[in-house]
Amino acid sequence: MLTLYYAPGTCALATHLALEYAGIPYEAVRLNFKEQQQRSPEYLRVNPKGRVPALVTPQGVLTETPALLQYIAQAHPEAKLAPLDDIFQLAKMNEFNTYLCSTVHVAHAHGARGYRWTDDPQAIEAMKKKVPQTMGDCFELIEAQMFHGPWVLGERFSTSDVYLYTLTRWLQGDQVDVQRFPKVADHLRRMDAQPQVQKVLAAQRA
């Protein structure tokens, strides 16, 4: 049994979705960020980083979304969540997921968590104002150069799709109109209709 620690509205949604698509037994444990449960001694023993997601496996704890997504895909090849039979396409999947983690997520985080980079209130406000531009720039690149359609890698659904879906959901709050990116907007619509997505979103809202 795998145990996922998550909080609604975070990037942990991608791992939650991957577990659901894999069709395997798992437990999802919600943390309340408003109550700082991610900083509790109990959770810090699970993940000293004090962030989500964290995935408890029989071998130990894993953190960082790209690693969790690859673990799930490789541990359950029957789910076909990664092109494990194509070394180049597998690398492309990891390239895309790493870009979301290292660049897009960071651009988004400048809006609400500027304190991670500076203590200067004016600098924090400047970072907030920059978010619509930087997130828009990121998604322009995804739309034009990185999204092959109908799924991120082309005809094959992969973990990149659950990850992209997760971050696309942040655009409205970042004051970016997803309709600027027709392929991404269509991807969002199709993902919204997936039964696995609807099940996970309902569970996270409960």
Given a cut of 90, is residue 111 above it in pLDDT?
Answer: yes
110-127 average pLDDT score: 94
**Amino acid symbol at 151:** W
Q: CA 200, CA 191: separation in Å to the nearest integer? A: 12
Tell me what the pLDDT averaged over the chain comes to.
Answer: 97
The pLDDT of residue 46 is 98
**First vs last Cα of the chain: how many Å apart?**
22
The distance from CA 167 to its chain's CA centroid, rounded to whole angstroms, is: 6
Angle, vertex CA 182, rays to CA 176 and CA 184, nearest 5: 70
Distance CA 206, CA 166 (A): 18
pTM: 0.97
For 58-67, what is each residue's pLDDT tens digit? Answer: 999 999 999 9
Q: What is the tens place of the pLDDT at every residue in 138-182?
A: 999 999 999 999 999 999 999 999 999 999 999 999 999 999 999
Strands 60-63 and 2-6: unpaired
How far is the CA of 47 from the CAs of 2, 44, 50, 189, 199, in angstroms? 15, 5, 6, 33, 26
Nearest alpha-carbon partner for 53 in 40, 41, 65, 36: 65
190: how many CB neighbours lie within 10 A of its CB? 14
**How large a percentage of the chain has pLDDT more than 90?**
98
pLDDT grade for 206, boundaries at 50, 70 and 90: confident
